[in-house]
Amino acid sequence: MMQLKMIPGAIALLAGFAFQSAALAADEPIQPIKPPANINLGMVELGKKLYFDPRLSKSGFISCNSCHNLSMGGTDNIPTSIGDKWQQGPINAPTVLNSSLNVAQFWDGRAADLKAQAGGPIANPGEMAFTHTLALGVLESIPGYVREFKQVFGKNKIDIDQVTLAIAEFEKTLVTPNSRFDQWLLGKKDALTADEQAGYKLFKDSGCVACHNGEAVGGNSFQKMGLVEPYKAASPAEGRSAVTGKDADRFNFKVPSLRNVALTYPYFHDGAVWDLKEAVQIMADIQLGQRLSEQEADDMTAYLESLTGEQPQIVLPILPPSRPDTPRPEVKS
């Protein structure tokens, strides 16, 4: 078999290019998304099954993917999600894509990490409307799950920690690297158009990067919605104050990631705005006290559209079948 040998000069040239690309990216307030690391593949496969399994809901109809649809940018593209018995939730479903990069989970940050978040919707009466005990009963009645949990965790009994760990491990893989903007950051200067580059410059110069920075272009702080001018929300949610009990935290929400923002409409915590350009103009008004011209709004919107990365390529799991003694879903209204 022929082996390719690389001459020392070529090695030095490639190393120099990689170093130069890293240096270029390091000078920017936004960093390229890195692939996930230290992933337990067996746990990921189990977590993927659980993520898509509607039997973790009371109705047997709702799964994690119902509100965080991986075919739709990791969200559901409606203002607020629909839960058990067609209940409409109080807040827009944030995308699950790149959620491992968030400082905390949910708009108000009430879950510290993905594991803590994963158990919430299962037991929420307005979402999946089950209890952890009932969900475990379903899983324990399915021989395929019993075997797989034992293979992954080495225990004879399934518990909720295993369930949430597995779902979180799968969600860690849902990153979207290699957007055109990431390519530009890493030195491919023709990856962005002139308008998109102008939009990024405006994004920095106007102060957007004060909140929307880092790998996720957000997700790493809590800020008041309506900093300069009040925002009249269509949702009753009051944000971080529901967690801290502090009045100073009212209407403080986790800054959303702008990765894949072209896919995650409608926008804001109340899902009130469907058009990305309109969302850009509103944020400039109420957060920065700036009125963008039509060209500026167009340029910034074009830049934001360049943040769409490679979407996770998911092979739908084949779920282990229920048995005659598996608890039946409750579908009565």
What pLDDT sits at residue 25? 65
Phi-psi region of 243 (alpha: psi -120 to 50; beta: other; left: phi over 0): alpha
Do residues 153 and 162 make contact, with C-beta atoms less than 8 angstroms apart?
yes
Lowest mean pLDDT across 10-19, 21-30, 113-122, 279-288: 10-19
Q: How far apart are CA 14 and CA 333, in angstroms?
A: 64
Cα 50 to Cα 18, 45, 304, distances in angstroms: 39, 9, 32
**Closest-CA residue to 240 (of 228, 216, 223):** 223
What pLDDT sits at residue 332? 72
Helix axes 194-205, 294-305, angle to 10 degrees: 100
Give all domains of the chain, ordered by start, each with its CATH number: 41-172 (1.10.760.10), 180-305 (1.10.760.10)
For 306, the 3-state DSSP assignment is coil
Q: Which of 28, 127, 171, 310 is catalytic?
A: 127
45 has catalytic annotation: no
Report the largest interatomic distance among the alpha carbons of the chain, rounded to a whole angstrom.
72
Query: Which residues make Cβ contacts (< 8 Å) with residue 130, sequence separation at least 6?
Result: 56, 57, 58, 122, 123
Q: How far apart are CA 302 and CA 169, in angstroms?
A: 33
What pLDDT sits at residue 324? 97
- Here the tokens at position 298 are 């167009």
Distance of alpha carbon 78 from its chain centroid, rounded? Answer: 16
pLDDT tens digit sequence for 178-230: 999 999 999 999 999 999 999 999 999 999 999 999 999 999 999 999 999 99
Do residues 165 and 43 make contact, with C-beta atoms less than 8 angstroms apart?
yes
**Closest-CA residue to 90 (of 215, 236, 199):** 236
pLDDT tens digit sequence for 223-271: 999 999 999 998 999 999 999 999 999 999 999 999 999 999 999 999 9
Tokens 């469907």: give the residue.
274
**Closest-CA residue to 187 (of 10, 27, 12):** 27
